[in-house]
Chain A
Amino acid sequence: MKVSEYSPEEFIRQVRRDGVLLHIGPFSVRVRSSLEDVAAGIHLHYEDYVVSDQEFADFHVTVEPSRGFRKWFHPQVNFIFDGYTPFKPLPRDQAFAMFEWGLNWCISSFAQDYFLLHAAVVEKNGFAAVLPAPPGAGKSTLCAGLVSRGWRLLSDELTLIPVNEPRQVIPVPRPISLKNASIDVMRDFAPGAVIGPIVRDTTKGTVAHMRAPAESVLRGCETARLKWIVFPQYKPASPTILAPRPKTRSFMEIATQSFNFSILGETGFGILKQVISDCDCCDFIYSDLDEAIATFDSLADGQQDICAA
């Protein structure tokens, strides 16, 4: 049964009582919360996901209000993973965002069958473009723009490359985390996109989540072949520039963006060697989202191979 087949009230009751088990990419996640806005957030952002009745879950997560006087005075919430509280509590209005961030942490900390990158990844014509970038570089905006114009969302935050098949990317199509100005940019750019409530004053600034396109969720088991590594950077008033980037420099940057390069050791080095050798690496500067998408489209259509140094 899909999340959207539950009424919001039913879903909130279910999340509160037994929790729900969602298959998110290759992971099964059981989430439970007594907080209405967590359940409502999941109902809104994960409506195309199937609620499973299986018992086993990779991650058991709970988002619950803090106890004691914090229940009333500047109320807070905790993210709990297998009975463990890995983070300090956050203000109550950040409950759904905390679920999202906590789930990122679960995957990036425990999914060691994958080479894990802090990067968005999108697909077209079977080929994946990985977009690694530091916060504020315009990665999520570009990713949201691309998936609003026909690219498939594999992930906005976590690129999963199987250790035993480093030419592929495994999808984990979850809501896209939009921050600050990019929220309004996406409202204008993709008026049909579902963007949830705005949460202000988080550690990342103002945040809102955009629902993953239904097609990306439905094709959540379909891997894509790695083809491009594009380092995006939003620069106001800049022309769109796509330029080759040295592979050795790309190697170093990707290693720093990996969550588990040091854990995987030589295996990680071998995977990255293969990934960088197989992919075209480029720097990408943009200010106009339409132009940016046109550039990506020409890459996907094989009309542009400027990345190939």
Chain B
Amino acid sequence: MRWRVNPHQPLSFFQHQEEEEVVVYQPASGDLHLVTAVSARILELLQETSLTSSELLQQMVPNKAGLNQNEQSADLYRSHLRPFLKLGLIESADK
């Protein structure tokens, strides 16, 4: 399945220098989210283009030697994509 940020409601970001958290503004709901820099990077990538979990993983960790691709993709889904879906930050690009 491919994931993306709704292209009609792009997210806005605020990050300050080396701080480890990022503020994300979701125009569809008007909500603010305080997320880790890793989460923000995932959202930025999905805002640029739609990606599958494994494509996303590839972009996040280009040197994936020693990684179990399926296991890591499932983990990425559980830890990040599923919560983003619940919050409406991302959607399926397959529909």
Q: Are B30 and A248 in contact (CB under 8 A)?
A: no
Cβ A247 vs Cβ B32 within 8 A: no
Quick one: CB contact mask for B3-35 with A, threshold 8 Å, 1 for yes? 000000000101111010111010100101010
Task: Check B23 against A251 for contact (C-beta < 8 Å).
Answer: yes
Contact A248 B15 (CB under 8 A): yes
Task: Kindly specify which of A136-144, A147-155, A185-193, A269-277 makes contact with the partner chain.
Answer: A269-277
Q: Does A1 sit within 8 A of B, measured CB to CB?
A: no
**In the complex, are the beta carbons of A262 and B21 less than 8 A apart?**
no
Task: Decide if B12 touches A248 in the complex (CB within 8 Å).
Answer: no
Contact A247 B16 (CB under 8 A): yes
Quick one: given A262-B30, A265-B30, are A252 and B23 in contact (CB under 8 Å)? yes
Contact string, A256-293, partner B, CB cutoff 8 A, digits 1/0?
00000010011001101100110000000000000000
- In this complex, how many residues of chain B approach chain A with their Cβ under 8 Å: the count is 14
B12, B16, B25, B32: the one within 8 Å of A246 (CB) = B16
CA distance A247 to B20 in the complex (A): 10
Interface range on chain A (Cβ under 8 Å from partner)? 10 to 19
Considering the chains assembled together, what is the distance between the CA atoms of A178 and B51 in angstroms? Answer: 56
Interchain CB contact under 8 A, B27 and A276? no
Cβ of A273: which chain B residues have Cβ within 8 Å of it? 12, 14
Which of B's residues lie within 8 Å of A, judged by CB?
12, 14-17, 19, 21-23, 25, 27, 30, 32, 34
